[in-house]
Amino acid sequence: MQIGLQVGFIGLGQMGSGMARNLMKAGHTVTVFNRTPAKAEALVAEGARRAATVADACRGAAVVTMLAHDAAAEEVVFGAEGLLATLPKGAVHVSASTISVALSERLAAAHAAAGQLYLSAPVFGRPDVAAAGNLFVVAAGATAALDAAQPLLDAMGQKTFVVAQEPSRANLIKLSGNFLIACVIESLGEAMALVGKAGLDKTQYLELLTTTLFGAPVYKNYGRLLAEPGDAPVGFAAPLGLKDIKLALAAAEALEVPLPLASLLRDRFLTLLATGGADQDWSAIGRLAARDSGQP
């Protein structure tokens, strides 16, 4: 029988809250930390322990981080009283954030030097999927790190893909995945601009697409956001979308791989941000094609 672990959880945004909650449901003892403490209230009310500092979340056998960008992850790991300084030797840092390949490489080296384990484990899924425990986890790291983290991954996701021993490979795959999703958004946006301007019903068009060749959830979900905008919640904000495309471009640049679609997506995100879309869901880039065609 699996005995619950003592685990810290840092980063309680839309994604992290659901993930931490699923760790608790699975029987783990979770100590939560968020820079804005108010976001911890709900979980504490449900039984999570409250960490006053990052260090307080680093007393157990594992700590999971789910942060918005490289800068936040750097601060939490390398800052004074951060993970690197306070996590016990042999404990594992499970990094679920979508961070750069370069930072993941730095984390791997730093944790190794500090005698800590490091598992890169970014996830696919929007907040509702995180809440349901149905994330897909892409994991890369040493076997010991993976073994230590497996019960946690099982609690947070429906399936774990172990892709490599080298942690940053998981980040590369995660970034490539978000790039592919953004390509779906852009291509659907262009196709809908076309059929929409011809007077066809976008929802029926989407139905046709998704019951035939494009039956993947990503087409259904983002297609709906494009066909019926307005009441969509912001599951993933536009600036985060730009961030991820930039990280994909940076990783590709380091490998000398030109990605013309990613370049186009980057320009779309900049256009969106520059024209008042910073508060919108990242799928809003898919409406720029319609705008450029003169549609409202």
Using CB under 8 A as the criterion, which residues of the chain lie in contact with a second copy when the complex forms? 124, 136, 138, 159, 161, 163-164, 169, 172-173, 176-177, 179-181, 183-184, 186-188, 190-191, 193-195, 197-198, 200, 204-205, 208-209, 211-219, 248, 251-253, 255-264, 266-268, 270-271, 273-276, 289, 292-294
Q: Helices in 199-259 by DSSP H: which ranges?
A: 202-210, 217-227, 238-254
Beta bridge partners of 222: none
Which one, 55 or 195, has the nearer CB to a second copy?
A: 195
Query: Would you give the DSSP letter of residue 268?
Result: H
Which one, 11 or 223, has the nearer CB to a second copy?
A: 223
Q: Distance between CA atoms of 56 and 86, rounded to whole angstroms?
A: 9
Which one, 231 or 256, has the nearer CB to a second copy?
A: 256
Per the structure block, which two tokens stand in for 166? 């080298």
Which one, 35 or 197, has the nearer CB to a second copy?
A: 197
Which one, 78 or 214, has the nearer CB to a second copy?
A: 214
Strands (E), 225-281: none
Assess contact for 8 and 63: CB atoms under 8 A.
yes
Q: Is 39 considered catalytic here?
A: no
Angle, helices 260-274 vs 238-254, to 10°: value is 150
Region for 47 from its dihedrals, namely left if φ exceeds 0, alpha if ψ lies in -120 to 50, beta otherwise: left
Closest distance of CB 135 from a second copy, Å: 10
Which residues neighbour 142 within 8 Å (Cβ) at sequence distance 6 or greater? 117, 118, 119, 165
Q: Distance between CA atoms of 93 and 113, rounded to whole angstroms?
A: 13
Closest distance of CB 15 from a second copy, Å: 15
Closest distance of CB 64 from a second copy, Å: 20
Comparing C-alpha atoms, which of 174, 177, 186 is closest to residue 261? Answer: 186
Residue 162, classed as helix, strand or coil, is strand
Among the listed residues 39, 159, 174, 246, the single catalytic one is 174
Assess contact for 39 and 11: CB atoms under 8 A.
no
Closest distance of CB 249 from a second copy, Å: 8
Write out the catalytic residue numbers.
174
